């Protein structure tokens, strides 16, 4: 069966510090991968998606970037965090007819 | 702009009451529709989905949703809720071939014993 991992589960970072969130998928190959963010009181917003290694599409302009160095690894990064980057970050992969979500990372930027 | 709207942000009801959560979208063309649920401390998971065919779809845990194309709506219903239905519910729309989802803001449902 397929499994999706995210780490860390929670993170508190100062403004201006770098960020790296990792997502890995098991049990499937060449999945479409997605990063979503849920800010307080808002729904999930798609940030990036990837259809293959090295292929990244950005949905909204922002302070974040994404990379896919391996087929089942998806990384969300920032060189300098902003207060507005706080939120709940979810990684997902796309099956035949639905998306499967990871446990999420709660990021607080102080 | 394309959007997904959920009518209620917070719903409180008693066990055995009926639940209906509204969802409207503003996409033209063919869409795939989803309801996801996030129980406290758990992953976001799929409740039900509509791709085509019978507009009344049934999902897990006694939930159902009706797609009304003329109203651009996909409302979620459950005739009799349980305390364990306390969760946040998200409506989502996919309108492309990349599987990208646009979510509504979510509805926090609290069921009191």
Confidence at B27, pLDDT banded by 50, 70, 90: confident
* Nearest residue of chain B to residue A6 (CA atoms): B43
Q: Do B43 and A103 touch (CB under 8 A)?
A: yes
Taking contacts as CB-CB distances below 8 angstroms, the residues of chain A near B49 are 97-98
pLDDT value, residue A36 = 96
Taking contacts as CB-CB distances below 8 angstroms, the residues of chain B near A45 are 103
Alpha-carbon distance A36 to A87, whole Å?
10
Segment A3-30, tens digit of pLDDT: 899 999 999 999 999 999 999 999 988 9
Q: Residues 6 or more apart from B6 whose CB is under 8 A from it? A: A43, B21, B22, B23, B89, B90, B91, B104, B105, B106, B107
Confidence at B1, pLDDT banded by 50, 70, 90: low
Half-sphere exposure of A9 (CA within 13 A, CB side): 4
Is B69 near chain A, with CB under 8 Å? Answer: no
pLDDT value, residue B2 = 78
Is B104 near chain A, with CB under 8 Å? Answer: yes
Taking contacts as CB-CB distances below 8 angstroms, the residues of chain B near A32 are 98-99
Segment B66-109, tens digit of pLDDT: 999 999 999 999 999 999 999 999 999 998 888 899 999 999 99
Structure tokens at A64: 């974040």
pLDDT value, residue A79 = 96
């Amino acid at each position: 069966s397929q499994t999706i991992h995210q780490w860390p589960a929670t993170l508190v970072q100062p403004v201006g510090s770098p960020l790296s969130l990792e997502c890995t998928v098991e049990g499937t190959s060449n999945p479409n991968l997605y990063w979503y963010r849920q800010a307080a009181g808002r729904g999930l917003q798609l940030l990036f998606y990837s259809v293959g290694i090295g292929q990244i599409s950005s949905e909204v302009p922002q302070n974040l970037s994404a990379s896919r160095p391996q087929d089942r690894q998806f990384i969300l990064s920032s060189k300098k965090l902003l207060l507005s980057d706080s939120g709940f970050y979810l990684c997902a992969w796309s099956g035949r007819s639905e998306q499967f979500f990871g446990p999420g990372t709660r990021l607080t930027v102080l | 702009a394309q959007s997904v709207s959920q009518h209620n942000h917070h719903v409180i009801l008693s066990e055995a009451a009926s639940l209906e959560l509204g969802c409207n979208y503003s996409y033209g063309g063919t869409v795939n529709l989803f309801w996801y649920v996030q129980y406290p401390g758990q992953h976001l998971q799929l409740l039900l989905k509509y791709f085509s065919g019978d507009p009344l779809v049934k999902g897990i845990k006694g939930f159902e949703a009706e797609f009304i194309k003329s109203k651009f709506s996909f409302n979620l219903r459950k005739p009799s809720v349980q305390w364990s239905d306390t969760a946040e519910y998200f409506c989502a729309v996919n309108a492309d071939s990349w599987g990208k989802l646009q979510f509504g803001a979510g509805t926090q449902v609290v069921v009191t014993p």
